[in-house]
Amino acid sequence: MLERLIIRNFVLIDELTIDFRPGFTAITGETGAGKSIILGAIALLMGQRADSSSVRPGAERCIIEAHFGQIDETVNQILSAEDIDPEVDECIIRREISVKGKSRSFVNDSPASLQLLKQLSEYLIDIHSQHKNLLLGDAHFQLSVLDLYSLNAADRAAYVESYRELRELRRQLAEAEALASEQIREQDYLQFQFDQLHAAALEVDELERLEEEERILSHALDIKTALSKAFSALDDDEQGALRTLGVALESVQSIRRYFPEAEELYERLQSSRIELVDLAQTLDSQSESISYDPQRLQYVSERLDLLQGLLLKHGKPDCQALIEHRDELERRLEAISCSDERIAALRQTLLQREERTTSLAEVLHGQRVEAAKAIEQALVEALRELGMPHVRLSIQLDRLAELGASGQDQATFLFSANKEIPLEPVADIASGGEISRLMLSIKALIADRRSLPTIIFDEIDTGVSGDIADRIGIILQQMGRSMQVMAVTHLPQIAAAGQDHYYIYKEHEAEATRSHIRRLEHLERVQEIARMQSGNKLTDISLAAAAELLTTTQNRLNNEAR
């Protein structure tokens, strides 16, 4: 519940601290006194966007802070998920807005996003203003009333999770089918490319080897002639280098006995002769191995043309890159061939998930049918007590053709306040006062079925008479037994029903106008109720009537409570 509200430098409020208590609290004040300002401050704590106009003129920033007690365990779970330490049975939300329009939010003194504030507000407080009556025309709201009354949160959570998985499977299947369709269109082209590369029987470094072989084959006669000429220069019997070197060896050998240096010269000449003999043999062998083979040259040339054409076609630098491209094409073709299997598996899984989700939707439908019957009866009884003796209400549940985020149901509240008027959707036929009373009855009906500890009604009494206002006061008081209820009201009957009564007023100072709020004691309540009944000119008669209304209302409520 909302235990304390602190407001500083917000619009017309200089500084304000309000302590609230459990039960039903009435909030009154003259028109324009600032009731909407306080509700606006609370709305900012619920995540509503703000701008610099929120800051009181002359101030640098405004601060709004709320202390909530008796919080639901879900709040602590949300905070833990955001790495915010939960306080012991308390949640403190603070919002700071600078004159430049910048906003900062904190939960338990930790920075928080507006999205987190909105999420927390679902479990902390609800402001019901006149524009929220428009929810009665919203199919989602009408369905949520049935679900809240059914207390089927676990079943709804199971359905939502199953529906989420269903949508994900549908997305995956659509993506797989689209990809398969695209791949099938290019399969023939991929297969042609792969077959061409596969038939080429590519080898790593083949291009370099063939280019070298082509150079040799293209100049085979020149190479053979040069090698033979080199061999003859070494091994010619008449003028060859080996013959001449032999003469040199004989000459040096003849002086070895009496010329010491001749020994080293002889060994060097002998080593050179051995090297030249080996070199001559190599030249002869290579000369013999070289032959002009026009058929081989033609094959090598054609093979080079093929490889170079493939490199150019596929934009690859060498045979290794072509081999890698061929292998990638093979993998893609295998994936295409396997796509039918994956699609078949996805379709089977999707069918099973659809059956599961449909089954969960049936469970929700059954619960909603039962809830609709009970809600119809309860709301008719409540509305008759609120001055609508001929009211009729029916909740129509239509089955949708497709599963949706909330199941396969669409709820429509049909309403008629008069005997002769046929039932129509409530948003199309009900007046403002009728909608206000219907929304109040709905909120009262589901109040103890929600984990929401605080609700604030802003002018729920619009368009109702004194007798009906008296009954509304009783309903708000009854709601206050299970939750904290506040109501901004202009009717004395509702104000008299409050266990607490706060008065909002303005003070016109020399330089500015300021809004204030204070909790009224008994005599002050009598004076305020008298003002609400008779205007600002209070008389003994108006004060006595107000005291009578307050005493009678409180006694009756106390008796009902017992």
The structure tokens listed for 87 are 């306080």
What residues contact 352, with CB distance under 8 A and at least 6 apart?
Answer: none
d(CA 1, CA 479): 14
State the sign of the Cα–Cα–Cα–Cα dihedral 397, 403, 405, 407.
positive
pLDDT of residue 311: 86
Please give the full DSSP string across 104-140, using - where no structure is assigned. EEEETTEEE-HHHHHHHHTTTEEEE-GGGGGGGG-HH
Nearest C-alpha neighbor of 176 from the set 338, 352, 331: 338
d(CA 502, CA 524): 10
pLDDT tens for the chain, residues 1 to 562 = 899 999 999 888 888 899 999 999 999 987 766 778 888 889 899 988 888 888 888 888 999 999 998 887 888 888 888 888 877 678 999 999 998 888 899 999 899 999 999 988 888 888 886 655 556 777 888 898 999 899 888 999 999 999 999 999 999 999 888 877 777 777 777 878 888 888 888 888 888 888 877 777 777 777 877 888 887 777 776 677 877 787 788 888 888 888 888 888 888 888 888 888 888 888 878 877 777 778 887 887 888 888 888 888 888 888 888 888 888 888 877 777 767 788 889 999 999 999 999 999 999 999 999 999 999 999 999 999 888 899 999 999 999 999 999 999 999 999 998 888 899 988 788 777 788 888 888 888 887 777 678 888 887 777 677 788 888 888 898 888 888 999 999 899 999 999 999 999 888 776 777 888 889 999 999 999 999 888 878 888 899 999 999 998 888 777 766 5
The structure tokens listed for 211 are 């280019």
State the pairing for strand pair 125-128/454-458.
parallel
Q: What is the dihedral of CA 135, 137, 140, 143, to 10 degrees?
A: 100
d(CA 229, CA 240): 11
Q: How far is CA 439 from the centre of its chain?
A: 32
Question: In this structure, what are the phi and psi dihedrals at residue 536, rounded to the nearest 5 degrees?
Answer: -75, -20
pLDDT of residue 5: 93
Q: What angle do CA 132, 405, 147 make, to 5 degrees?
A: 55
d(CA 18, CA 66): 10
Report whether 387 contacts 467 (CB < 8 A).
Answer: yes
DSSP code at position 55: B
What residues contact 413, with CB distance under 8 A and at least 6 apart?
Answer: 136, 142, 393, 394, 395, 396, 425, 426
pTM, to two decimals: 0.65
Report whether 174 contacts 343 (CB < 8 A).
Answer: no
Q: What angle do CA 493, 525, 523 make, to 5 degrees?
A: 135
Report whether 102 contacts 153 (CB < 8 A).
Answer: no
Question: In this structure, what are the phi and psi dihedrals at residue 546, rounded to the nearest 5 degrees?
Answer: -65, -40
The structure tokens listed for 153 are 């949160």
Q: Quick check: helix, strand or coil at residue 102?
A: coil
State the sign of the Cα–Cα–Cα–Cα dihedral 39, 43, 48, 54.
positive
pLDDT of residue 392: 93
Report whether 225 contacts 253 (CB < 8 A).
Answer: no
pLDDT of residue 524: 93
State the pairing for strand pair 424-425/454-458.
unpaired
**What CA–CA distances, in Å, run from 110 to 95, 178, 551?**
11, 46, 46
**What CA–CA distances, in Å, run from 299 to 31, 137, 200, 303, 381?**
104, 85, 13, 6, 101
